[in-house]
Amino acid sequence: MVTTILQSILSVLSALVIGLFFMGLFRIIMARIHWRYGPPLVQPVIDIIKLFFQRSVSHGIMFDLGLILSLAGSMVIILFMPFGNGCWCPLSGSGGLLVILYIMLLMPFGIALSGGAGGNPNVSIGISRKLILSLGYEVPFLLIVLAVMTRYKSISLVEIVRYQQDLQWGLFSWPLCLPGIAYFLILPAMLGIRPFDVASAPQEISSGPMAEYGGKYLAFVHIEHAFGLSITIALFVNLFLGGADNILFLFIKMLVVFVLGLFVHAVFPRFRVEQAIKYLWKWPTALAFVGLVVTLLVK
């Protein structure tokens, strides 16, 4: 019991630290690509400290609760996510991938509920774009997860990781490489980075769903963003890159995936919403579907 609680706290904390590190690294690497010096690595932490000391404005009870719902949803997913095989996955025995699939919807919905209470037209546009985008990437994402679950005949992430460590990494085994590539193609959409940053486009709609957040609220949004980064990339590593024995190897694998995603972010301009949907429902969905069919036939 005590170890479970300790593991829960540790896994949430480590996900937060990894996410904040990625946010800092994001800004530094983007600066170097722009031929700039860039901020210090701890800049997101400084921002969050500052935001917690600011006076903030609330827009009603839904504004507070939606944000808490989103934050709690992302924390719960981390409890189901193996951070290093066997050591830090406090709730690995129950649920597995299916629970993660369900709770992952809470993150955009919580922000949507909360931002909607702000009554800002930019927030409404941002939320509609965010939900349309999540409609776009949920279809290939479900097909990908279905293919993985069919291949390994298991819904438990811990077992999927163990199979991969015994046999071969998912990304390099035959039928699963197609869903793996598809997951990498939808990764920018799930992270909300370019070319899929339609939802939080600061130049078009004043940073969209975040337009009404200030002070502590914005700090919580930043923390939720850090959790989101950790979750999405850790899921990719666990599903296709064989997970890891401990958190250090997991972190290195996540770092490689994240930096590759960053290069995509640095090079591409922003899609419009309908272009994003067209892309997401074409190539990743086709790859994931073919992967699913081949997985079913090979079995």
Partner 1 sequence: MDRNQITKWLKSPAKMANKYSLHVIYFCTGCGIIEIPPVITAKWDAERFGVIPVATPRQANLFLIAGYVSLKTLKAIIRTYEQMPEPKYTVSFGSCPINGGMYWDSYNTIKHLDKFIPVDGWIAGCMPRPEAIFVGITHLWTLIDKEMADGYIRYRKNYAAYRRNQEMLFSNLGWPPLYSIDDEPEGGSQEAGVGK
CA distance 206 to 191: 19
CB of 110 to partner 1, least distance (A): 18
Report the nearest approach of partner 1 to the CB of residue 46 (Å). 5
Nearer to partner 1, 215 or 268 (CB): 215
Question: Position 82: which residue type?
Answer: P
The residues binding partner 1 (CB under 8 A) are: 27, 31, 34-40, 42-43, 46-47, 49-50, 53-57, 122, 202-203, 206-207, 210-215, 218
Residue nearer to partner 1 on the CB measure, 23 or 78: 23
Helix axes 216-240, 157-166, angle to 10 degrees: 40
CB of 179 to partner 1, least distance (A): 36
- Counting other chains too, the contacts that 246-249 makes at CB distance below 8 Å and 24 or more residues apart are 246/84, 246/87, 247/14, 247/83, 247/84, 247/87, 247/88, 249/84
In the complex with partner 1, the residue whose CB is nearer, 42 or 248, is 42
59 vs 175: CA distance, rounded Å = 50
Closer residue to partner 1 (CB): 162 or 222: 222
What three-state secondary structure class fits 223?
helix
Nearest distance in Å: CB 54, partner 1: 5
Smallest distance from the beta carbon of 268 to partner 1, in angstroms? 18
Cβ atoms < 10 Å from Cβ of 242 = 24
Which CB, 161 or 219, lies closer to partner 1? Answer: 219
